[in-house]
Amino acid sequence: MFLLPATVVDKLATRRSRRVAAAASVAALASAVFGLGLIGPDAAHADTSTTASADTAPAVQPAGTVGTTWGDATANNVATGGSQTYQADLDPGSLYTIETAIGARAVWWQRDGEKRQITGQGVGVALLDTGTADVAGLDGQNKLSYGPDLSIEANSADLTDKDTNGHGTHIAGIIAAHDPVTLDRQTMAHLSPSVQLGVAPDAELESLKLATTDGSTDVSQVIAAVDWVTQHPTLPDGTAIRVINLAYGTDSVQPYDADPLSAAVENAWKHGIVVVVSGGNEGPQAGRLTDPAMDPYVLAVGASDGKESPAGWAYPSVASFSSSGTAQRHVDLLAPGRSIASLRAPGSFVDRNFPQGLVAGDTDGRLFRGSGTSQAAAITSGAVALLLQAYPSLTPDQVKYLLTNTATPVMGGTALTAGAGQLNVAGAMLAAKILSTPSGSHVFPASVYTQAWPTSNGHGSIEDARGGYHLVDPQGEVLSGEIDVQGMPWDPAAWWAASSTLTAWNGGVWNGATWTGSGWASTGGWDGSRWDGSRWDGSRWDASRWDGSRWDGTAWSVDNWN
């Protein structure tokens, strides 16, 4: 489906009134080329089941909860068609179904002026998450590399870079999984829907592990990771990192223009990296987005719901768990986020604790099913990679404008819950083609896409950025106050002066403490010292302190990975 963007812009007139004329131009062209218009209204779907067995797992996450929900018995039943065999073309949450619905697979078939295939080739995506497992679909040449492991598990050589949680692998598969098949027009015409291909199957991934097995991390670790990518935006093979995927959020109520996490993602944005963040899973009653989605510069993504069949994505609704916002700040758009079947990390935390996430009929045991705005953000990151391969000169502001002004409207949703509507990759690609022509500046003058919100100086509190979530060590010590996870004092002015000038990292040192090494090893991993000698309230964090123990999940857990 293709949006009539003037309709959406009118709904958001208080925020984007100056964009209406250009959006109308896109709408007219879309209607003429595709003959598509607004979709009809549809009632929101919710399943309030709360049991946890594989047969009766909740179909969607109940409103008012947080974190990714694993499993969906209804989707499993639909995907097997009453048989014992998984059929991706019947699965409402398969990558095949999702990519067809948002137009990604149509884009793969296109060629630009240089006869290239648009599959994300030459675009690097930094995945700031729980690590990424080297499983089939992510094990191709130049597919997956590792940046510094900034999690506490980096103290262990056995756990460094490994996705002991499972969330990161699921997200990586959505963005850029690529089974060993040739992607050309002839092959794709006969390709099995069960072949695992992410939204941008030829994009390259750099995984930065931030969290431990149970998902525990501190906001200072996330800021350090964003700083690192902004300062080192090149993969080992020379590919430029153009996208950051951050499916993480806190419940901070600190104003974004003071918040240090917001300042960090803004800084990446200003340096040419599109930052895609999940909006949060607290449902329509949330009334706010998580931090850093609350920052208006970045691309904040909510989740849409296609309900119980592949055809349902033609009439999407807002997923019941997707966080609402305010008139001042809400999600920019939606992407499919319900019951997405992506790659599994065998033996990980979610694999062991949520067996209902296994996909029925998947005889290879490769797949896991999850719902959340994390999954929606990953789909959007893949779409951004497609745009940037086709039109590498696009700026982050232009990418955001193109995606939000070509989205499919979601009737029954409001701007506060649905933003501009559901992601439409094919529509955005068409608009990008116009924008990139010599006459594009007349159709899309800079005034319609240039963002001019007040910027964050990061001079606020790192404690406030944590919101209500704190790390608690196995001995009960709580990480709180104006210190980072290393126990170093937090000087926001000094940090921002370094971050904004791309000097926050000095070798393996960030905020005055050694976190990691200073160079790539010949094996492709990050070499050098780890931060097992760091301090937190006078305590040394080494293997004897944490090995065999876990962080207290009651204070901070996988729930913050949306």
- The pLDDT tens digits of the residues spanning 528-556 come to 444 433 333 223 333 222 332 333 333 33
* Residue 107 banded pLDDT, cuts 50, 70, 90: very high
**DSSP assignments along 287-334, one per residue:** -SPPBTTTSTTSEEEEEEE-TTSGGGGGS-EE-TTSPP--SSS--SEE
> Hey, which residues does 305 pair with through a beta bridge?
317
- pLDDT value of position 13: 33
Question: Do residues 149 and 138 make contact, with C-beta atoms less than 8 angstroms apart?
Answer: no
Contact (Cβ atoms closer than 8 angstroms) between residue 456 and residue 258: yes
Report the helix count and the strand count for the chain, using DSSP H and E: 20, 18
Categorize the per-residue pLDDT at 517 as very low, low, confident or very high, splitting at 50, 70 and 90: low
Q: Can you give the pLDDT at residue 401?
A: 97
Mean local confidence (pLDDT), 515-527: 50
Give dist(CA 537, CA 556) in Å, integer: 19
Share of the chain above pLDDT 70, in %: 79
456-466 mean pLDDT: 96
- HEC secondary structure over 393-431: CCCHHHHHHHHHCCCECCCCCCHHHHCCCECCHHHHHHH
pLDDT in tens, 236-255: 999 999 999 999 999 999 99
pLDDT at 561: 73
For the chain, how long is the longest CA-to-CA vector? Answer: 67
Residue with tokens 């959406």: 8
Overall average pLDDT of the 50-77 stretch: 55
Alpha-carbon distance 524 to 354, whole Å?
32
What is the rounded CA–CA span in Å between residue 91 and residue 100? 12
**Pick from 170-179, 431-440, 492-501: least confident:** 431-440
Residue that the structure tokens 């007139």 belong to: 13
Neighbours of 187 (CB within 10 A): 11
Segment holding 124, helix H or strand E: strand 124-129
- What is the reported pLDDT for 555? 39
pLDDT at 67: 79
- Please give the Cα distance from 394 to 388 (Å, whole number): 7
Q: Are 304 and 316 in contact (CB under 8 A)?
A: yes
Q: How far apart are CA 556 and CA 206, in angstroms?
A: 25
Which pLDDT value is given to residue 299?
A: 98
* Residue of 40 and 172 predicted with greater confidence: 172
Half-sphere exposure of 505 (CA within 13 A, CB side): 22
Lowest mean pLDDT among 41-50, 234-243, 360-369: 41-50
User: Is the N-terminal amide bond of 438 cis, ω within 30° of 0?
Assistant: no
- Lowest mean pLDDT across 42-51, 321-330, 415-424, 483-492: 42-51
Mean pLDDT to the nearest integer, 415-427? 96
The per-residue pLDDT of the chain, averaged, comes to 82
| DSSP class of 322 | S
User: What is the pLDDT at residue 319?
Assistant: 95
Tokens of 451: 């963002």
Looking at per-residue pLDDT, the higher value among 15 and 483 belongs to: 483
- Beta carbons of 319 and 105 less than 8 angstroms apart: no
Give the pLDDT of residue 516: 79
Q: Is 272 helix (H, G, I), strand (E, B) or coil?
A: coil
Any idea which of 57-66, 441-450, 486-495 has the lowest mean pLDDT? Answer: 57-66
